[in-house]
A and B are shown apart, each in its own frame.
Chain A
């Protein structure tokens, strides 16, 4: 099958790849480009572990075809830290023990980042709603909710 050229911006860097037509973005990111931060959980759109941000919107990379992302701006959790300094969300996830096995964490952090990008000081209900498409089987969710609220407070303190 003929390969299809795909170009997009991933975490601020231009990427160009040839993929098989019909390749999912998750497969392209992990196995072609080498960004393994989005996880392949259910491949059904149920677990949210593959969540990435495409042109400012949270999407599921397991259900998105790579060639439909030509020209897009894509963010994944691997692009969040800045010169080795963790993003406030990453720091908060560590500080509040919001990660156990860690498989859901990159998707949770992407879902939380979209929320905080649009709603810097969310209510608890808004956090719960924002994370409602992401499944965690370890933490019981409470530490994750606290992590997002902690990161929001941290952001607002830094901005003050």
Chain B
């Protein structure tokens, strides 16, 4: 393998260099170096930036901003991000978590990208030098994205408001059969006031379970209460088929695991 790596002190200069044909941004290397090792000849040059802001986590007033170069390991051990630790630890083994970045996870194709599923449920915004984009819009158009992601931002959900589940065949580390993240708000009477549910592996990238979200509104988190949401869980999904599971299997087991997450 011979790839020219160019390192820039600022994101601005790195963005300019990324305009060259065949260049890709190098984060932790777990996607792009892997692709190059696998013989992806579309990658002829790598660009990276060492701008310090890319590697910082800022938590203030319930708002979180995570630099795009922050690793899964750094999130998992951050004292203010305990709610997200489970999602960060869902990515890879210890070595991968020391390398894989938040920015890279936004581009990880299914069955990877478990942390992006969490960010989608959290209604994160994705920042580049061009401005901020809602994560749902960003994920839908990520294939054509050229501007370097600089950070992701979101509001920390209240205690217990964020739920995450990853299903894999190999324990403790395995590739996803599917992953589910949910941010639920309940009214004082226990009924669901708002629900945002994101699914991994149920398409080629993280998607929302819109029908299930709507079916949960006004319902209680009981077996009877969530039944309509489980029935609608697979609406609009187009799961991947890979050596881990078929699309059929993923659709069959999604309601089971969504039910476990909602009743937990």
Contact = CB atoms under 8 A, between A and B. Distances in A.
Nearest to A61: B95
Given A44-B37, A62-B37, A65-B29, A21 B5 contact: yes
A129 B46 contact: no
Given A20-B2, A65-B26, A65-B29, A45 B96 contact: yes
A24 interface: yes
A48 B98 CA distance: 13
Interface string B107-123: 00000000000000000
Contacts of B33: 24, 62-65
Interface of A, secondary structure class, is: mixed
Contacts of A130: 94
Contacts of B143: none
Interface in B38-73: 38, 46, 48, 73
Interface stretch (A8-16, A52-60, A71-79): A52-60
A128 interface: yes
B95 A51 contact: yes
B4 A22 contact: yes
Contact of A63 (B4, B30, B73, B93): B30
Contacts of B1: 22-24, 27
Interface string A116-134: 0000000000001110111
B77 to A, nearest CB: 11
B29 A43 contact: no
B94 A58 contact: yes
B172 interface: yes
A68 B46 CA distance: 12
A22 B37 CA distance: 11
Interface in B83-138: 92-96, 98-99
Contact of B96 (A21, A60, A68): A60
Contacts of A111: 94-95
B76 to A, nearest CB: 11
Nearest to B48: A68
Contacts of A24: 1, 33, 37
Interface string B1-39: 111110100000000000000000010111001101110
B173 interface: yes
A27 B2 CA distance: 11
Contacts of B34: 43-45, 63
Nearest to B43: A22
A135 to B, nearest CB: 10
Contacts of B26: 65
B98 A21 contact: no
Contacts of B29: 63-65
B93 A134 contact: yes
A151 to B, nearest CB: 17
A44 B99 contact: no
B98 A58 contact: yes
Given A114-B94, A130-B94, A22 B2 contact: yes
A23 B96 CA distance: 19
Contacts of B173: 132-133
A101 interface: no
Interface of A: 1, 4, 20-24, 27, 43-45, 48, 51, 57-60, 62-65, 67-68, 111, 114, 128-130, 132-134
| 8 smallest beta-carbon distances between A and B, as pairs | A133-B93, A22-B3, A132-B173, A43-B37, A63-B29, A58-B95, A57-B98, A63-B33
